[in-house]
Amino acid sequence: GGGGADDDDGGEGTKLVAEAAASGGDLLANLEARLKPVEKYAVRLLEEMYPVDVAAETDKLDKGLNENEWDVDEMQRRKEEQEEDAEESEQEQLVEEWDK
């Protein structure tokens, strides 16, 4: 169907994100500066319709990070247990070989 030239950016959006990130500047400011007026309007409209509670989102991320830290600690503990079990089984094998 009848789409215009504005329907597909031909990968330019990805290029813009990469350029903005590579420039080391403020990513959002660089992206916003490159938006067409109608795109800026759409962004403002979406921000008003679906406001983001920054504090709540930050709390969610903090909880997720804390859970990940626990997972890392748990994985480290399990790894140490497995190493201890492996050492014990090696020692048992040596004792069995000596008994033969």
Each residue's pLDDT tens digit, 9-55? 556 666 666 665 565 558 888 888 999 999 999 999 999 999 888 88
What's the confidence (pLDDT) of residue 31? Answer: 87
pLDDT for res 14: 65
Q: What is the pLDDT of residue 4?
A: 47
Quick one: average pLDDT of 55-64?
Answer: 85
CA distance 18 to 21: 5
Per the domain annotation, does 3 fall within a domain? no
- How does residue 5 score in pLDDT terms, banded at 50, 70 and 90? very low
Q: How long a stretch of residues is the chain?
A: 100
Q: State how far the Cα of 39 lies from the Cα of 89, in Å rounded to an integer.
A: 65
Q: Residue with structure tokens 């309007």?
A: 41
> pLDDT by residue (tens digit) across 69-97?
777 788 889 999 999 888 888 877 777 77
| Residue-range definition of the domain harbouring residue 92 | 53-100
58 in the same domain as 46: no
Residue 27 lies in a domain: yes
| 82 & 57 share domain | yes
The number of domains in the chain is: 2
CB 16 within 8 A of CB 31: yes
Give yes or no: residues 71 and 35 share one domain.
Answer: no
- Give the 3-state secondary structure percentages of the chain, helix then strand then coil, rounded to 5: 80, 0, 20
Confidence of residue 60 (pLDDT cuts 50, 70, 90): confident
Tokens describing residue 83: 């190493």
